[in-house]
Amino acid sequence: MAEEQAEFRIYNSMSQQKEIFKTKVPGKVSMYVCGVTAYDFSHLGHARAAVSFDILFRYLKHLDYEITYVRNFTDVDDKIIKRANETGEDPLMLSNRFCDEYNADMADLQCKTPSKEPRVSEHLNEIKDMITQIISNGYAYEVDGDVFYAVDKCPNYGMLSGQRLEHNRAGERVAVDSRKRHPADFALWKAAKPGEPSWDSPWGPGRPGWHIECSAMSACYLTHKFDIHGGGIDLIFPHHENEIAQSWAADHESHVSYWMHNGHVTNNNEKMSKSLGNFFTIRQITERYHPLALRHFLISAHYRSPLNYSISQLENSSDAIYYIFQTLQDCKDAVSPLLQGETEKNEKVPQINEAAKECIKKLNVEFQTKMSDDLQTPVILTGALQEALKFVNTSLKMLKKKMQKRAQLQLIQSLLEVEKEVGKVLDVLGLLSSKSYAEVLHQLKDKALNRAGLTEDEVLHLIEERTQARINKDFAKSDKMRADLATKGIALMDVGNEIIWRPCIPSEPLVAEVVHRDQRAPTVEEKQSSSSVNQKVDEIPGGREGNDLHTTT
């Protein structure tokens, strides 16, 4: 890519505007992102948060920053204890299991592993030390083994969210604790209850409140001053607001330069939540769609915008991924044999053609300017990247024609250079795989067969039937067989005398139905819609309740 880079700007939730990105230490980035409360399989909202900040992580690496990326696990929490009591498991063993499951999902989605993944249970000393410091500084008080933060002593409380103490109405969400000096005071330490895991502390046995963990762990790995703090938009209040307050109480010099938040996942433009039972786990989606298709869908909207989940959009993303990898595979298949023995030892490789130069320049300029403008991934997916893929396909057609050896070599070189630049863009977007192009295509076809309810042998048998129908000049039957498969997302293509198949967007929209067989794991069942092919259909899955990235106190 071109060496010259556009100035990187990111949206700062604190100032509510885009700002030029400047690090506290030149060439180094310190970033903390709120992770999951590990008590169940992760859902689509968790996936969006992880992928959004993975894109940021990858792009900062592309800009040659040295990055310390910290993303925590909450493994001590009310919801974990409740689930462990239901299943009869040890709470820490249960949370450890779901931490591992989360990491497996992240690997499927091509999310890079953060530099550090701290867990609450492993940082009790740092948490207790910070609470002690806050009490010593006069910003918290102990009552019956509980420690509460005194919000009215924080002069700038509400600076991130705009929430003011005088606007908070007590008792609307949870019962007011009469022991608190102010209704908005929140727990830094919770006294132990019978049957709950607990740890010794200066205030008696207990466990940390929700908010303190992130202040303590971010300070542990990044100090009280660092560059980026990220999370879902639901975490702005109360979680991030309380983080700011307690970090300031522990050290008045504490400061985060940029607060970044990703938007909700919605259904019919309504935020999804576990309480409504209309969320879906990552596993439920990737059982039927390739993880790269899910990732493509997640970055098809700007990270700060609401993302409305629909089966049709996921089908579009699946088709887009298939097109990308088929184009790259076709390029490899066409170019590889021609490269063998084509150039003389002393023969100079010709320069790429002007069309390739223009294609690469446009791709680089758009990638740099749009990614540097607060990570405009949707523009990258639909703009010059598509033009570059089109260039590859057009050039492959030309390569099949007779031409002089030098012209052929120039075209091959042009294809290779464009393919290389496409690969760089896809790598930053996280849309490449450690597997070969052919393996990814095979996986995509397997997922399509799964959605269609067919095996490959059954599709090949139908192709044989259709071939025989064409031989018998029964074109009505032939056309109907082709159309029937198209409704299921299987496209038949006549290539010379051969018929091949590939996944496609179903010619009739699919509607997703939520079947509540289990409160924790709703399933998705798809059926053919009775609506016309061109009618826009609203569907269900996907989403999260933002605070499920942690759990409320």
What are the DSSP calls for 500-547, one per residue?
EEEE---SS-EEEEEE-SSTT--EEEEEE-SS-TTS----------GG
Would you say residue 553 has pLDDT above 60? no
Where helices occur in 207-353 by DSSP H, the ranges are 212-222, 241-250, 282-286, 291-298, 311-339
Provide the pLDDT for residue 349.
72
Which of 237, 271, 286 represents a domain boundary (last residue)? 286
Q: Are the C-beta atoms of residues 528 and 539 closer than 8 Å to each other?
A: no
Per-residue pLDDT tens over the stretch 449-466: 999 999 999 999 999 999
Provide the pLDDT for residue 1.
42
| Confidence bin at 301 (pLDDT 50/70/90) | very high
* Residue 267 covered by a domain: yes
- Determine how many CB atoms are found less than 10 A away from the CB of residue 392: 20
Question: How many Å apart are CA 229 and CA 45, to the nearest integer?
Answer: 18
Question: How many Å apart are CA 459 and CA 337, to the nearest integer?
Answer: 31
Mean pLDDT value across residues 149-173: 79
Unique residue bearing structure tokens 């606007």: 167
Provide the pLDDT for residue 350.
81
Provide the pLDDT for residue 338.
83
Question: How many Å apart are CA 122 and CA 496, to the nearest integer?
Answer: 63
Q: Are residues 342 and 254 in the same domain?
A: no
What is Dmax (Cα atoms) for the chain? 91
Q: Are residues 209 and 322 in the same domain?
A: no
CA distances from 528 to 41, 243, 480, 506, 514 (A): 28, 48, 17, 9, 15
Q: Are residues 30 and 159 in the same domain?
A: yes
Would you say residue 344 has pLDDT above 70? no
Token pair of 528, please?
């053919």
Mean pLDDT value across residues 295-305: 98
Per-residue pLDDT tens over the stretch 186-236: 999 999 999 899 999 999 999 999 999 999 999 999 999 999 999 999 999
Would you say residue 437 has pLDDT above 50? yes
Model's pTM, two decimal places?
Answer: 0.90
- Phi/psi region, residue 223 (left: phi>0; alpha: psi -120 to 50; beta: rest), is left
Report percent pLDDT > 90 for the chain.
80
Provide the pLDDT for residue 535.
29
* Residue 43 covered by a domain: yes
| One-letter-per-residue 3-state SS of 127-189 | HHHHHHHHHHCCCEEEECCEEEECHHHCCCCCCCCCCCHHHCCCCCCCCCCCCCCCCCCEEEE
Q: Are residues 230 and 350 in the same domain?
A: no
Token pair of 395, please?
């050039």
Q: Are residues 147 and 93 in the same domain?
A: yes
Mean pLDDT value across residues 437-451: 98
Question: How many Å apart are CA 50 and CA 465, to the nearest integer?
Answer: 46
Report percent pLDDT > 70 for the chain.
86
Query: How many independent structural domains does the chain possess?
Result: 3
Would you say residue 239 has pLDDT above 90? yes
| Confidence bin at 514 (pLDDT 50/70/90) | very low
* Residue 180 covered by a domain: yes
Q: Are the C-beta atoms of residues 276 and 548 closer than 8 Å to each other?
A: no
Helix (H), strand (E) at residue 466: helix 456-471
* Residue 1 covered by a domain: no
Which of 435, 460, 475 represents a domain boundary (last residue)? 435
* Residue 440 covered by a domain: no
Mean pLDDT value across residues 107-127: 98
* Residue 403 covered by a domain: yes
Q: Are residues 140 and 190 in the same domain?
A: yes
Q: Are residues 337 and 256 in the same domain?
A: no
Worst-scoring range by mean pLDDT, 111-115, 123-127, 348-352, 476-480? 348-352
Provide the pLDDT for residue 268.
67
Worst-scoring range by mean pLDDT, 17-31, 211-225, 274-288, 358-372? 274-288
Worst-scoring range by mean pLDDT, 169-183, 202-216, 281-295, 368-382? 169-183
Per-residue pLDDT tens over the stretch 10-36: 999 999 999 999 999 999 999 999 999
Q: Are residues 35 and 110 in the same domain?
A: yes
Provide the pLDDT for residue 171.
40
Q: Are residues 182 and 221 in the same domain?
A: yes
The values of phi and psi at residue 149, to 5°, are: -85, 135
Q: Is 316 helix (H, G, I), strand (E, B) or coil?
A: helix
* Residue 469 covered by a domain: yes
Beta bridge partners of 308: 266
Q: Are residues 63 and 198 in the same domain?
A: yes
Q: Which residues contact 25 (CB under 8 A, 6 or more apart)?
A: none
Q: Are residues 471 and 336 in the same domain?
A: no
Would you say residue 548 has pLDDT above 70? no
Worst-scoring range by mean pLDDT, 64-73, 166-175, 362-371, 426-435? 166-175
Q: Is 467 helix (H, G, I), strand (E, B) or coil?
A: helix
Q: Is 12 helix (H, G, I), strand (E, B) or coil?
A: strand
Provide the pLDDT for residue 525.
37
Token pair of 422, please?
């496409």
124, amino acid identity = L
Provide the pLDDT for residue 550.
41
Token pair of 526, please?
């798809």
| Confidence bin at 519 (pLDDT 50/70/90) | very low
Q: Are the C-beta atoms of residues 158 and 164 closer than 8 Å to each other?
A: yes
Provide the pLDDT for residue 199.
98
Q: Are residues 389 and 351 in the same domain?
A: yes
Helix (H), strand (E) at residue 261: strand 255-262
Provide the pLDDT for residue 494.
84
CA-wise closest residue to 299 among 47, 36, 35, 18: 47
Mean pLDDT value across residues 520-534: 35
Domain that holds residue 354: 309-435
Which of 218, 253, 286 represents a domain boundary (last residue)? 286
CATH (domain of 136)? 3.40.50.620
Q: Are the C-beta atoms of residues 65 and 71 closer than 8 Å to each other?
A: no
Does a cis peptide bond (omega within 30 degrees of 0) precede residue 238? yes
181, amino acid identity = R
* Residue 525 covered by a domain: no
Q: What 8-state DSSP symbol labels residue 8?
A: P
CA-wise closest residue to 300 among 322, 321, 317: 317
Mean pLDDT value across residues 346-353: 77
Per-residue pLDDT tens over the stretch 377-430: 999 999 999 999 999 999 999 999 989 988 999 999 999 999 999 999 999 999
